[in-house]
Amino acid sequence: MHATPDLSRAALIDALIGTEKRLAQLHAAQHRLLATLAQSRGTDPLDCTEEEITAALRWSPNTTRNRLHTAHSLATRFPETLDLMAAGSVSNAQANALVEITAGLEPDAARAAQNRVLARLPHQSVAATRKARHRAVLAVDPQAAHKRHLLETKKRRVTLCPEPDGMATLALYTPAQTGAAVMAALDLHARQRSEGDARTLDQRRADSLAHLVLSSVGVPSSGTTQTTAEVPALIQITVGIDTLLGSSEEPAELRGIGPITAGQARAIAFGNDATWRRLLTAPDGTLLHADARTYRPTASVERLVRLRDRHCMFPGCAMPAARCDLDHIIPFDHHRPEHGGATTPQNLHSLCRRHHRLKTAGSWKVAREGEGEVVWSAPTGHGYSTRAEAYAA
């Protein structure tokens, strides 16, 4: 159905209600498909159900894992909620909230928490659902909040997320009291403002955090907003020579983040302690002076492959290439090297350990399709292609 200006406001609202109902029904159908796949998994460590879904739907591995868990929980613990979704009465967000909030409960307690609020779900917003679920969890198991806290404490982490315009967000997931203490310490440092310092409080907090962390490992930091050029020992930049010389403004690549501006790259490259490593290639990108008949790649070949791929080359996997194995696409022949796959960038790609094992076991087939691109064949016969980040548009 296509909305048109001819529809009245009331008709437009009715159409929105209809689409929301159909979305809930589609999500319920998807949950049931995922639950069936989740239940079909055996104990084989090389079971590739997650990889099949990741490649087919272009989800990240974490997304696939989380959605399989949610679908399995709805199908086995909360079939009544799933039935309401199939009827279009409960949204996917409400169902996700149920699984999330009851994660620390035993199955019987989780079902009891669902049953206390089930009749009200079709008439509640997502926010109201979450509040009602929290109250229900506390009612059926007063220790549930503590259980969830202990569960979440095990998930504490620091994440780095790329942002537009050459920026990034560094996030700390930690117990609330630790987060409050870290913020108080940042405030203490940030409020020590020198005369003529025009930075805002937020800017001083950000600069203080960078200074405290970097100085703790011996990396100098000026304590101002211009800290980028002071940290070359901790980061890796891939940049063209024309950009370095200032004759091109092509962006560079910051490992773990993505594209950055030419100006940022030059500031880092010409920093006081920057170290340059040069890789010589032929016009077609082939690395010169590589020994193709040894099993282990030379340091130059290894650097080139990791810089080219930048992450695991399995569909949907974002494991950084620096933490991956280098795998021969055409297997290397240890007995007769001249008859096997060569140890060259064209025959090597980066694979995380999990996907390296799947490929070696033969459940997934892979072939090179031009420089920087490989094609995977799944056990079901489906085909998926991946392209090295260095060749991405």
- Spell out the per-residue pLDDT of the chain, length 393, in tens: 555 667 888 999 999 999 999 999 999 999 999 999 999 887 788 889 999 999 999 999 999 999 999 999 999 999 999 999 999 999 999 999 999 988 878 899 999 999 999 999 999 999 898 888 888 888 888 777 777 788 889 999 999 988 888 889 999 999 988 988 899 899 988 888 778 888 999 999 999 999 889 887 766 554 444 444 344 445 677 777 788 888 888 888 777 677 788 888 888 778 766 666 665 555 555 554 455 566 688 888 888 888 888 889 999 998 888 899 999 999 888 778 777 788 888 889 999 999 999 999 888 999 988 777 899 999 999 999 998 876 554
Token look-up 């929301």 returns 20
**Residue 256 confidence (pLDDT):** 67
**Residue 388 confidence (pLDDT):** 83
Give the pTM: 0.71
**Residue 85 confidence (pLDDT):** 97
**Residue 228 confidence (pLDDT):** 42
30, 68 Cβ separation under 8 angstroms: no
Q: Which of 72, 70, 75, 107 is nearest to 92 (CA)?
A: 70
**Residue 247 confidence (pLDDT):** 84
Residue partners of 219: CB distance under 8 A and separation at least 6: 230, 231, 233, 234
Tokens at 300, concatenated: 């130059």
**Residue 281 confidence (pLDDT):** 55
In this structure, is the dihedral angle defined by the CA atoms of residues 247, 250, 254 and 255, taken in order, positive or negative? negative
**Residue 282 confidence (pLDDT):** 53
**Residue 270 confidence (pLDDT):** 80
**Residue 174 confidence (pLDDT):** 92
Q: Which of 333, 334, 330 is nearest to 349 (CA)?
A: 330
**Residue 277 confidence (pLDDT):** 65
